[in-house]
Amino acid sequence: MTELPRLPFDNPSIMGIAPQMRALQREGPIARVRTAGEDAWLVTRYDEVRTLLADPRLRLSNPDPEQSANSAARGFMVALMAGDDCATEPARHAQMRALLVPLFSTRRMRRMQTRIERHVDELLDQLAVSAPPVDLHRALSFPLPTMVVCDLLGVPLDDRERFGQYARGTFDHSDDQHSANTFKKVVDYLRELVARKRTEPGDDILSELISAKDGALSDEEIVQLGAAVLLFGYETTIVRIDLGTLLLFRNPAQRAQLVEDPGLAPAAVEEILRLGVGGKGSNALIPRYAHSDITVGDTVIRAGDAVKLAIGAANIDGRAYPDPDVLDLTRDRPRSNLAFGHGARLCIGRTLARIELTAVFERLFRRLPELRLAVPEESLRWQEHRITGGFDEIPVTF
């Protein structure tokens, strides 16, 4: 019997799709693979991934939870996304979105845009007067999304550093105890903050949740929703700022175009979202379970089977994108990338993330035209132990 390919696949580069993932995509849209905890179906082509993301027969919850091999970090993530119980997942998820989607309204996002742009300008001003080399990750990529999520939740900015580190520790799937300890700190902090906002409300999501449904939500329900906003609303944006900067370092001609025309920043963000895969691809796989039989081409996914939707591979599928590996800020009517998912679980915070990324890449290289890596790219280390991946350091000079 031929041994199944084993995830995660080795990748000789710190960014991009692993060669074995590309090979499987060339062979067909779906393949059987082995993971650390279970065998699964890996789906790699754009059309099939997009279709399955919107298929209600694929869910987060495992129909056979006793067979689940999830880490504590993965368990917390699934629970916060209302996907830890197959009997209640559809109803709980619909209720969660009904409460949170209005809080990310276009009006609120427009209000936040000015504040976000001011945060970016202040951080770049501080960076510009620093003596190089400077860690871009600590100077820009980490603090900006942390500031934004603190603004959104009404967290005092003085608390942003420890609040951000709590979130980072929660998604460390190499150490279940560390993950549990930091998640408890998130919950305890938010519980205290909710209690304070019941008497001192502000212009923030927690205060609005306290008033939602005529005040019917309990503190614990509000804390869970707040934790979801925190844990899913900032770490992935940190990762994208780092990856986007590295992609533009690799593509000086596109970078020059962006400096010349900052109006290309939204297009640059879409290309960064499309191509931003790091390490072994930990930030570019969406796990699901089949709750009914599903046919993909000539393959039948059986109820109960695990499925990995490779959004990173789908986003460089040549059937969907001409010259898929090329960073091109002037693509002609490109298809929507799948970085934020698709369907019922399309990321609620996608507009906010795009505003943050656009504010960064409109300004970064205009403010620091000589910005470049201070170390060889291959010396950077992708953090495989975190569910979202990411870097802890990006040394730059200018």
Query: What's residue 1's pLDDT?
Result: 55
Q: What is the pLDDT of residue 132?
A: 96
Residue 302 vs residue 68, higher pLDDT: 302
Average pLDDT over residues 78-102: 94
As a whole number, mean pLDDT of residues 69-75 equals: 80
Q: What is the pLDDT of residue 183?
A: 92
pLDDT at 5: 96
DSSP state string for 118-169: HHHHHHHHHHHTSPSSEEHIIIIITHHHHHHHHHHHT--GGGHHHHHHHHHH
Q: What is the DSSP letter of 302?
A: P
Q: What is the DSSP string of 65-87?
A: GGG----HHHHHHHHHTT-S-TT
Higher pLDDT, 386 or 24: 24
- With pLDDT > 70 as the criterion, what percentage of the chain qualifies? 99
10 Å CB burial of residue 109 (0-12, 13-18, 19+) is: middle
At residue 300, the 3 state secondary structure works out as strand
Who's near 359: CB < 8 A, 6+ residues apart? 113, 116, 117, 119, 120
Count CB-CB contacts under 10 A for residue 369.
11
Using pLDDT thresholds of 50, 70 and 90, give the confidence band for residue 232. Answer: confident
> Mean pLDDT throughout 31-46?
94
- Residue 309's CB is within 10 A of a number of other CB atoms, namely 25
List the chain domain ranges.
19-382
Longest dimension (CA), the chain: 65
Q: Tell me the pLDDT band of 77, cut-offs 50, 70 and 90.
A: confident
Helix (H, G, I), strand (E, B) or coil at 378: helix
Predicted pLDDT of residue 356: 98
Angstrom distance (rounded) from CA 398 to CA 281: 30
Selected residue with higher pLDDT from 232 and 383: 383
Check if CATH label 3.20.20.110 holds for domain 19-382. Answer: no
pLDDT (tens digit per residue) in 169-201? 888 888 889 899 999 999 999 999 999 999 999
Residues 236-249, mean pLDDT to the nearest whole number: 97
DSSP code of residue 343: G
Q: Residue 31: is its pLDDT beyond 80?
A: yes
pLDDT mean across residues, the chain:
94
The encoded tokens of residue 282 equal 């930990």
Query: What's the rounded mean pLDDT across residues 72-84?
Result: 89
* Closest C-alpha to 115, from 148, 163, 164: 148
Closest listed residue to residue 154, CA positions, set 216, 98, 220, 229: 229
Neighbours of 105 (CB within 10 A): 11
Q: Let me know: does 388 contact 236? Beta carbons within 8 Å.
A: yes
Q: What pLDDT was estimated at residue 25?
A: 98
pLDDT value at residue 68:
66
* Cβ neighbours of residue 293 closer than 8 Å, sequence gap 6 or more: 300, 301, 302, 303
Tens-digit pLDDT profile for residues 264-304: 999 999 999 999 999 999 789 999 999 999 999 999 999 99
Identify the burial level of 306 via C-beta atoms within 10 angstroms of its C-beta, where 0-12 means exposed, 13-18 middle and 19 or more buried.
Answer: buried
Please give the average per-residue pLDDT across 108-126, as a whole number.
96
pLDDT band of residue 163 (cuts 50, 70, 90) is confident
